[in-house]
Structure 1
Amino acid sequence: MEKKTVLITGASSGIGKATAILLHEKGYQVFATARQTAKMNDLEQMGIRVIAMDVTDEESMTSAIQRIRNEVSTLDALVNNAGYGSYGAVEDVSMTEARYQFEVNVFGLARLIQLMLPTMRAQHSGRIINVSSIGGRIGEPHGAWYHATKFAVEGFSDSLRMELKQFGIDVVVIQPGAIKTEWNQIARENLLKVSGGTAYKDLVEKHARMLKTADDRGSEPIVIAQAIAEAIQARKPKTRYAVGSGATIVLTARKLLSDRAFDRLMLSQMK
């Protein structure tokens, strides 16, 4: 019996790498992709198939998908994990950077789904796992562009889920809370670089400290990998999995509080 196959983006570190290893251990044939594969030698040594792929480059994506189709006849799951957080005050972030944030976090995800859907429709099955964030349900200062992309992923996934039900394809959203990955450090450094010397300096420095605290208290990437594995393996997966440090608490607070009350709560954490 042929192994079930999974394609994972952003698999060179953090959540993507943990997910690739876990699913490999569970017996899946894993295709792990990232822009730079230098940090993925350990995955290759495990027997995981490593492919260089840039989700902002059409040729890179189409060639990677063609390679996978040449090697396997089915694709059981697609894990859209590639992404990053572009932080900085709206006034300070260039529109070039804003557009790139959407290219990586939204349009790359959407294009990869387009490329994989003919295979999933033909087999009348499949799981599309979109890694969003609790940031797809809440906002925070200096994260407008990042949160906008994650809100977009949430709405995109809800619409896609209804479209694909007729073909037996499930769409699942993963909403991580604070996780110990490179993401947080990169976001903090970018925030300070972009707005640490502008009119927003005072709140930016407080925000950076808050992000550092959240990182220190964050969950390990394996927590998210386990949720992704559950979403892939479940007979009837949930539409959303909110997991990781603070995820449930923050989303519950957002649901119960008014907009201004939640604003006050968020700002009170930036000291």
Structure 2
Amino acid sequence: MKVALVTGASSGIGEATAQELQKAGYTVYAAARRVRRMEGLAAKGVRVLEMDVTDDGSMTEGVKKIIAETGRIDVLVNNAGYGSYGAVEDVPLDEARYQFEVNVFGLARLVQLVSPHMREAGRGRIINVSSIGGRIYEPLGAWYHSTKFAVEGLSDSLRLELKPFGVDVVVIQPGGIKTEWGGIAVENLEKTSGGGAYAEQVKQLAGFFSQMDRASEPKVIADVIVKAAEARRPRTRYAAGFGARPVLFARRVLSDRAFDALFLGAMRRFA
């Protein structure tokens, strides 16, 4: 039976992915800081791990545990991440660094820990959950988008490095998904820049985010991740969820100025 490790599995996309991979026949290890929130997964037979992707020791011990118990890791789903918003002028650099620790360096460290086992086996799949935010941009989201642009670039180079060893690297680009992400992003946005020079942009972007009631369920992304895990020859990128494909198409065909105007116009409608 194949073995999968899914990070950020206490809610949203990670939780749904752990469930769907188990249904597909995998032995699934669901990892997150909040173990109590994974009791539902444990009740379904998913193996839960306490893991903090900013703590090297917890990641190292988690991977050791999986190898000791199963002897293999076939699929790594790097899903842990969060969105912290605010004007570049306002966001403390400690918060910016922490967002990189969670969204980029934690992901990279797990790749370092897991890829030797995949290389030795001559097979494996690393699935990095990025975002359409790894291809587009928006005001007040510079640090979040920087992390996702970094995930995209890291994944492309990693794909070439691991290809000779039979290990595939896949990027998932979710659009609007009904998770805790939006609420956390808006909370940080308003706390950081809601009362200063950028208050009007905060109001507009918060209104824009409020349309998440039209977003897709996390299972939409979980199903795509299972597809990427199971495909004989997976695509390098999968975009899915509310608005993902049209937004990425617009970014591809429009100039920077035209995309700026499109996005700012959309924001103003929610002022």
Pairwise same-fold verdict (TM > 0.5): yes
Aligned residue-pair number: 268
Secondary structure at the residue paired with 2:76? strand
- In structure 1, the residue matched to 2:257 is 260
- Cα drift, residue 216 of structure 1: 1.1
Secondary structure at the residue paired with 1:7? strand
Amino acid at match of 2:221: I
Matches within 5 A, 1:228-247: 228-247=225-244
1:113 and 1:98 map into 2 onto residues whose CA distance is 22
Amino acid at match of 1:248: R
Amino acid at match of 1:130: N
- In structure 2, the residue matched to 1:40 is 38
Matched, 1:216 2:210: no
Q: Where do 5+ consecutive residues of structure 1 fail to align?
A: none
Give the fraction of aligned pairs with identical amino acids, expressed as a percent: 63
Does the 8 Å contact 2:66/2:72 carry over to 1?
no
Matched, 1:62 2:60: yes
1:58 and 1:160 map into 2 onto residues whose CA distance is 20
Secondary structure at the residue paired with 2:267? coil
Spell out, residue by residue over 1:61-110, the C-alpha distance to the aligned partner (whole angstroms, 9 max, x if none).
Answer: 11111111110111110000000001000000000000001000000000
* TM-score, structure 2 normalization: 0.98
Q: Where do 5+ consecutive residues of structure 2 fail to align?
A: none
Secondary structure at the residue paired with 1:269? helix
Matched, 1:179 2:177: yes
62-71 or 234-243: bigger deviation = 62-71
- Cα drift, residue 270 of structure 1: 1.1
- In structure 2, the residue matched to 1:71 is 69
Spell out, residue by residue over 1:252-271, the C-alpha distance to the aligned partner (whole angstroms, 9 max, x if none).
Answer: 00011110110111111112
Secondary structure at the residue paired with 2:143? helix
- In structure 2, the residue matched to 1:251 is 248
1:181 and 1:14 map into 2 onto residues whose CA distance is 5
2:47 to 40, 46, 49: 49
1:119 and 1:162 map into 2 onto residues whose CA distance is 17
- Cα drift, residue 25 of structure 1: 1.1
Secondary structure at the residue paired with 1:241? strand
2:156 and 2:24 map into 1 onto residues whose CA distance is 28
- Cα drift, residue 170 of structure 1: 0.1
